[in-house]
Amino acid sequence: MSEHPDCALVRRGYVAFSEGDMETLSSLMTADAVYHVPGDSTVSGHHKGREAILGLFRTFGEETGGTMQVQVEAVLADGRGHVMSFHTVRGDRGDRGIEMREGLFFTITGGKVTDIDACVEDIDEMDAFWR
Confidence label for 2 from pLDDT (cuts 50, 70 and 90): confident
The residue ranges of every structural domain in the chain are: 5-130
DSSP 2: P
- Residue 1 in this model has a pLDDT that exceeds 80: no
Give the pLDDT confidence score for residue 81 in this predicted structure.
Answer: 97
Give the pLDDT confidence score for residue 36 in this predicted structure.
Answer: 98
**How many alpha carbons lie under 13 Å from residue 116 in its C-beta half-sphere?**
28
- Using alpha carbons, list the distances in angstroms from residue 131 to 16, 45, 73, 74, 90: 26, 13, 27, 29, 16
Each residue's pLDDT tens digit, 12-50: 999 999 999 999 999 999 999 999 999 999 999 999 999
To the nearest whole number, what is the mean pLDDT of the chain? 97
Give the pLDDT confidence score for residue 109 in this predicted structure.
Answer: 98
Buried b (16+ CB within 10 A) or exposed e, 106-127: bbbeeeebbbbebebeeeeebb
CA distance 16 to 90: 17
CATH number of this structure's domain 5-130: 3.10.450.50
DSSP per residue, 45-70: EEEESHHHHHHHHHHHHHHTTT--EE
- Residue 96 in this model has a pLDDT that exceeds 90: yes
**How many alpha carbons lie under 13 Å from residue 89 in its C-beta half-sphere?**
27
Each residue's pLDDT tens digit, 59-88: 999 999 999 999 999 999 999 999 999 999
User: What's the rounded mean pLDDT across residues 46-58?
Assistant: 97
